[in-house]
Amino acid sequence: MPGGRDGTPRDKVLVVGMDGLRNDRLVRSAAHAPVLHGLLARGAHGTSLLPYGEADGQAEGGPWTSMAYTDSGPGWSSVLTGVWPDRHGVTGNDFAGADYTRYPDFLSRAGAARPGLRTAAVVSWPELVHRGTLGPAVGRRVHHDGETDGYATADDLVARTAVRWLTEHDPDLLFVYFGGTDEAAHATGPLSAAYDAALLAQDAHLGRLLTAVDARGSGERWTVLVTTDHGHLDTGGHGGDTRAEREVFVVLAEPGTPAGTRLDSPRLVDIAPTVLDRLGIPVDPDWGLAGRVLPSPTPPTSEWS
């Protein structure tokens, strides 16, 4: 693919969300996540804890109140908007109180800032479209129904759709969501063989996406981010304030990243400003984003592949 008019590579971003993927299961499961482990080895990786509450305006030691359940609604809202539940308003999977007008998703922000930008999202949890987390300003929005058809089937359709876009079209910013690991954890827990199988399937889907990116040619500079929305208890389930439920990760791979780089406590709200930064879109302070831009290696030394 040709680069920009001055011959420089065009900046593009792929964000992949893997629901309910526990970081400890990821880092210890090389056999079940070879593609992700390849990204960990040659990219950057870090973890942080979801904020669970605040001291309710009291002095230190005062009563604590929950900011939100460690659920998918709040988690993906934070990823996509770049603010925590105290701003975007989503505290559970009922999405009550959502304020996506004031805090839209990063694809919508990017498209508004650069009207010619091609944005697309494909997900297997329909609520992300039905509830407006991914707003109507996104160039392409497709959902496959993991709730009805099962996430193994829906995730495969998600991957096929995303690969087709990468192969036949020219997206600048693509968000892809897989839900198989969360479904498996709810059914049998994250320490089960079923969870390993779901992780392996999602990892294979990621590999298909990266292969499609690689096949696009040398005129593009891709940043790839992989993250999750929450963890799981050993027995399966989430929503509370344990470390197993609150620990989340961010994987960042792009040209020039020193192999095995550690990110310093990357948070879900850091995804949105990082995406905008990589696309050359300055973050307006009036947007009220809570995240920070994750560090980029400079200067880039080679195309990411």
For residue range 66-78, list pLDDT tens digits in order: 689 999 999 999 9
Domain boundaries, the chain: 10-51+105-287
| Residue 55 pLDDT greater than 90, yes or no | no
Cα–Cα distance measured from residue 267 to residue 249, given in angstroms and rounded to the nearest whole number: 8
ω into residue 2 within 30 of 0, thus cis?
Answer: no
What does the DSSP assignment read for 72-130?
HHHHHHHHHHSS-HHHH---STT-TT--TTTS--HHHHHHHHSTT--EEEEES-THHHH
CATH 3.40.190.10 fits 10-51+105-287, yes or no: no
- Answer positive or negative: Cα dihedral of 44, 46, 51, 54: negative
- State pTM to two decimals: 0.92
Residue type, 102: R
DSSP annotation of 231 reads -
Phi, psi of 14 (to 5 degrees): -120, 125
Query: C-alpha angle 284/277/260, rounded to 5°?
Result: 140
The pLDDT score that the predictor gives to residue 251 is 97
Per-residue pLDDT reduced to its tens digit, 129-186 = 999 999 999 999 999 999 999 999 999 999 999 999 999 999 999 999 999 999 999 9
Per-residue pLDDT reduced to its tens digit, 95-128 = 999 999 999 999 999 999 999 999 999 999 999 9
Given pLDDT bands bounded at 50, 70 and 90, which one contains residue 199?
very high
Q: Which two tokens stand for residue 158?
A: 């998600």
| Residue 258 pLDDT greater than 90, yes or no | no
Among 100, 102, 105, which residue's Cα sits nearest to residue 119? 105
To the nearest whole number, what is the mean pLDDT of the chain?
Answer: 91
Given pLDDT bands bounded at 50, 70 and 90, which one contains residue 7?
low
Per-residue pLDDT reduced to its tens digit, 200-214 = 999 999 999 999 999
The pLDDT score that the predictor gives to residue 302 is 37
